[in-house]
Amino acid sequence: MAQLGTRTAGETQTDRHIAMVEEHSAHNYAPLPVVIARGEGCWVTDVDGDKYLDMLSAYSAVNFGHNHTEIREAFTRQAHTLTLTSRAFHNDQFGPFCELITSITGYDMVLPMNTGAEAVETALKTARRWGYEVKGVEENKAEIICCTSNFHGRTITVISFSDDPCNGPFGPFTPGFRLVKYGAADALETAITPNTVGFLVEPIQGEGGINIPPDGYLTKCREICTKHNVLMMADEIQTGLARTGKLFAVQHENVRPDVLILGKALGGGVMPVSAVLADKEIMGVFDPGSHGSTFGGNPLACAVAMAALTILTRDNYADRAAELGTPFIERLKTIKSPLIKEVRGRGLLIGIELKPEAGGAKKFCKKLKEEGILCKESHDHVIRIAPPLIIEQKDLDWAFERIKRVLEEA
């Protein structure tokens, strides 16, 4: 499978590409030293011909694997037909997309955007406007509650309520947000005031370190939001669309948020497609001109998203993620290493948290790369394992042996 060790001495293609990036790209990322040139299913090949198992899936954007036939066909068909009209006009992919995504999610209406951060911004605008026009909060007084160690994107407003110390200095920040401890429903209730319009939460925190809240947390948050007339907004950009073994991670607790935020896998691993979903009483607050996006709802994005949503439900990826992920998590727990603090996960969203004395997860991700596995640390001490949901058992077995060896030999 992995064909490692084939490189000759001297400058490799990999070195050349990395030098170009180092020289001419902003240094806002610290990627592993691998330059991917091709992808097929769960496997990618780098510019020097080495093959790796992708166990990150572009942070869950590639849930259906690389180069999925039906997604690629939908993309190329639409690329040859019509790609962009703007919403100044209708296009013939948008209506069917709206109908499909609302029927799958069970909400009345959708507002399409492109990136995840834009969808989060859209949800925040929805909650504020709903607060003023429906709940009756005095203008400019709305408060939105968010959680500690959240990740909702990179725009100025979104990082205004992040407590990640890496996020700065970029102030002054957008006011109107409060942070409460993730996983503590009581803290949410205490923080609510008559001006609170929304509560934004990730059902499992992906970037925060694969943090799974205590059982019953989402249910309690739902009750508290209902009791105080506050919109519960679930950011399912990473956890949604089958990743955790349910179509949406809130379904582990049978919770229905007022506002559902989707992104990443919605674009089928091909292009950025995000969406905010809510019922009429909430999404109805937008009127023409109050929000928009030149590319949001474009026919190419709609065609790709429809292909992704169709295979997602038809091929039952949620069950697949649970069937493959649950035993894999149990197996990872059998790895005997004094460096492991905890193995946790749901479906195929898995974190291996290392003790601080292990010296950080990054060096283990580098070692796994040498073994032919690509994954990425989540925060400093967590190795995140999130392969495409199309992964096969034999590939998981192959990966397990290598993860075990790297951790046990350390």
Tokens of 291: 């929000």
Question: Binding of ligand PLP at residue 395 (CB under 6 A)?
Answer: no
From the CB of 267, what's the least distance to ligand PLP, in Å?
A: 9
Cis peptide before 169 (omega within 30 of 0): yes
- Name which position in 151, 248, 295, 317 contacts ligand PLP (CB under 6 A): 151
Tokens of 327: 């035993």
Tokens of 200: 């934004």
Question: Is 336 an annotated catalytic residue?
Answer: no
Of residues 246, 264, 369, 376, which has the active-site annotation? 264
Count of alpha carbons within 13 Å of 265, Cβ hemisphere only?
Answer: 33
Q: CA separation (Å) from 365 to 80, 149, 233, 286, 376?
A: 40, 22, 33, 45, 6
Residue count of the chain, please give it. 410
Nearer to ligand PLP, 230 or 237 (CB): 237
Tokens of 228: 């105080």
Q: In what order do the strands lie in the sheet with 231-235?
A: 109-113, 274-278, 259-262, 231-235, 196-201, 143-147, 177-180
Cβ-proximal residue to ligand PLP, closest one: 116
Do 223 and 217 meet the contact criterion of CB atoms below 8 Å apart? no
Question: Binding of ligand PLP at residue 115 (CB under 6 A)?
Answer: yes
Question: Is 248 an annotated catalytic residue?
Answer: no
Question: Binding of ligand PLP at residue 182 (CB under 6 A)?
Answer: no
What is the C-alpha separation between 271 and 232, in angstroms, rounded? 28
Question: Is 163 an annotated catalytic residue?
Answer: no
Nearer to ligand PLP, 78 or 274 (CB): 274
Question: Binding of ligand PLP at residue 263 (CB under 6 A)?
Answer: yes
**What residues between 52 and 71 interact with ligand PLP by CB under 6 A?**
59
Question: Binding of ligand PLP at residue 237 (CB under 6 A)?
Answer: yes
Of residues 151, 161, 199, 248, which has the active-site annotation? 151
From the CB of 235, what's the least distance to ligand PLP, in Å?
A: 5
Among the listed ranges 86-94, 112-120, 179-187, 306-314, the one in contact with ligand PLP (CB under 6 A) is 112-120
Nearer to ligand PLP, 14 or 114 (CB): 114
From the CB of 140, what's the least distance to ligand PLP, in Å?
A: 26
Do 183 and 211 meet the contact criterion of CB atoms below 8 Å apart? yes
How many residues in the shown chain lie near ligand PLP by CB under 6 A?
A: 16
What is the C-alpha separation between 130 and 152, in angstroms, rounded? 20
Tokens of 195: 């001006």
Question: Binding of ligand PLP at residue 212 (CB under 6 A)?
Answer: no
- List residues binding ligand PLP (CB under 6 A): 59, 115-117, 120, 151-153, 202, 206-207, 235, 237-238, 263-264
Give the residue numbers annotated as catalytic, written as ranges. 151, 235, 264
